Structure 1
Amino acid sequence: MHAAERHQRILTRAREEGRVEVKDLASRLSVTPETIRRDLTSLDRRGLLHRLHGGAVPTGQLPANPGVGGREETRSAEKGRIARAALAQVPDNGTVILDSGTTTGRIADLLPADRELTVVTHSVPIAAKLARNPAITLHLLGGRVHGRTMAAVGPWAFGALDGLFVDTAFIGADAICATRGLSTAEADEAQIKRALITAARRTVLLADRTKFGRTESAYFSPIEDIDLVICDSGLDTGVAEEIEAAGPRIEFA
């Protein structure tokens, strides 16, 4: 079967059922899962499908990005495990960046009150949590507060990072692709995330499996600029191998 015919069958099935899975398509079309992953990536790049963990959905069927409150309830157990695993990457008496997001917010909940640490963040909810921790020296970046993420963005926040250098940055992303890097749904969020990575000696990406194998509109970093990825154990093996081949080590929580 030629690729064009395979692509048409994949699109037809996705539109009929609302979602397609790599393993199911490989079985139905008598090809390898790797071939299907390449097909889905090609269709995603053409704007015909959106890649998701283990499969894809038709364009236009992805839910809108929820606000912080809604995202707190999504994949809560996985985010908790990822945050606990990330604690091992927090340096003793060092300086860290916590990006905005629900998983990085879990790290803020877990930081002990007897371990001195300097934390830089542009997230208002994270800053509110850390302000009550007596062991934390907190620096909140200013700027326009984004209504969905409750994080400071724009020139003020970006300018405050000029000349800053920290030990470790803990970063989130809306979408992660081995070939197309890290991306998010908002251009101003992408700008600040890029600056956070530049300010850190080492960058740790925190993401559950639903963020992998897809892209969003605002690119902010190649995958090779990430030192460590911490993800839940449900990540597709093929996707994990693609990420590690691009540079960072993956740790499963």
Structure 2
Amino acid sequence: MFAEERQAEIARLVGDTRRVSGADLARRFTVTMETIRRDLAALESEGVLRRVHGGAVSLDRTDSVEQSLDSRATLKTPAKRRIAAAALELLEYTEATSVVLDAGSTVETFADALATRRTGSSDQSLLVMTHALHVAGRLADQPEIDLELVGGRVRTLTWAASGVFTAEQYNRYRADVAFLGCNGVAAGFGFSTPELPEAAVKTAIVNSARKVVVLCDAEKHNHENLARFATFTQVDALITDAAPTGPLAAALEEGGVEVIVA
């Protein structure tokens, strides 16, 4: 098979399945991984697909590709700050004494805002539980915060623990309120994330908290990822930077989710 024929077949496969594995392609066409890498590079230069670790995805699938913490931290910064400010205001209103903070750049921005929070000397300190190293780092030296670091195997992509062991620890808690990030929220599916181990931890957090708040910018509206971690009826509030519309707005209302636009 000529390279042009192979690349045309790869383009067709990406269009049909939206994601292909480099190893699977090498076996399918009986060629080396280096040959597949050259094929994918050529197709990416033509605007057919986007290369990712281990293979490639179609251009309309890029929302389901998890970004590194560093790359996500540079996106939507003004929106994240507004969402964080609204989350801090909600926290003050709830008068919570125990809080769970999820991983993610928006939650990290909220942790930055929380680090500036000042209470009276007679107020009870706030217990914060998190499995995210970057979030813990923002709060570790705050005298008015008691920090509980939840352990497990840390993913280098997110700087956060994930998997069954981490989820089991959260199952032992009953926090007043949990603040979670998400990679997508869509009518008919709910709140989702690309990775199953991460979804397991998020689901455990949802089940452990008396009040569940999701921090999610509008770019993630109407997007579905691989793993759902919460339905609409399991979430109490969504803090976002633009009002949801259409079926998503209807699903949030039907599920009883309070939408706060920052």
TM-score of the superposed pair, with normalisation by structure 2: 0.70
Which residue number in structure 2 is paired with residue 132 of structure 1? 141
Superposition deviation, residue 232 in structure 1: 0.4
Secondary structure in 1 matching 2:173:
coil
Structure 2 distance, partners of 1:154, 1:185, is 13
Select the residue among 104, 113, 118 that pairs with 2:107: 104
Comparing 219-228 with 88-97, greater Cα deviation is found at 88-97
Structure 1 distance, partners of 2:167, 2:192, is 17
Q: What letter matches 1:201 in structure 2?
A: R
Select the residue among 91, 95, 98 that pairs with 1:92: 95
Structure 2 distance, partners of 1:59, 1:108, is 32
Which residue number in structure 1 is paired with residue 239 of structure 2? 230
Which residue number in structure 2 is paired with residue 196 of structure 1? 205
Structure 2 distance, partners of 1:143, 1:226, is 25
Q: 1:100 to 1:222 in 2, by over 3 A?
A: same
Structure 1 distance, partners of 2:157, 2:209, is 25
Structure 2 distance, partners of 1:233, 1:177, is 15
1:162-195 CA deviation, whole Å, 9 max, x = no partner? Answer: 3210100001111111211111100000000000
Select the residue among 175, 181, 199 that pairs with 2:190: 181
Secondary structure in 2 matching 1:133:
coil
Superposition deviation, residue 158 in structure 1: 1.6
Structure 2 distance, partners of 1:63, 1:185, is 6
Superposition deviation, residue 126 in structure 1: 0.4
Structure 1 distance, partners of 2:245, 2:238, is 14
Structure 2 distance, partners of 1:161, 1:242, is 28
Secondary structure in 2 matching 1:83:
helix
Q: 1:195 to 1:211 in 2, by over 3 A?
A: same
Q: 1:155 to 1:206 in 2, by over 3 A?
A: same
1:123-167 CA deviation, whole Å, 9 max, x = no partner? Answer: 000001110111100001100001111111123312212321010
Which residue number in structure 2 is paired with residue 80 of structure 1? 81
Q: What letter matches 1:69 in structure 2?
A: D
Superposition deviation, residue 66 in structure 1: 1.5
1:57-110 CA deviation, whole Å, 9 max, x = no partner? Answer: 964454732211110111111111001001122143610111101111111111
Superposition deviation, residue 235 in structure 1: 4.0
Provide the alpha-carbon RMSD of the alignment. 2.0
Secondary structure in 1 matching 2:129:
strand
Identity of aligned residues (%): 32
Secondary structure in 2 matching 1:220:
strand
Comparing 237-246 with 157-166, greater Cα deviation is found at 237-246
TM-score of the superposed pair, with normalisation by structure 1: 0.73
Secondary structure in 2 matching 1:157:
helix
Structure 2 distance, partners of 1:110, 1:79, is 11
1:212 and 2:215 correspond: no
Comparing 172-181 with 233-242, greater Cα deviation is found at 233-242
Q: What letter matches 2:112 in structure 1?
A: D
Structure 2 distance, partners of 1:208, 1:189, is 19
Which residue number in structure 1 is paired with residue 40 of structure 2? none
Unaligned runs of 5+ in 2: 1-14, 16-57
Comparing 65-74 with 227-236, greater Cα deviation is found at 227-236
Contact persistence 1:177–1:243 (CA under 8 A): no
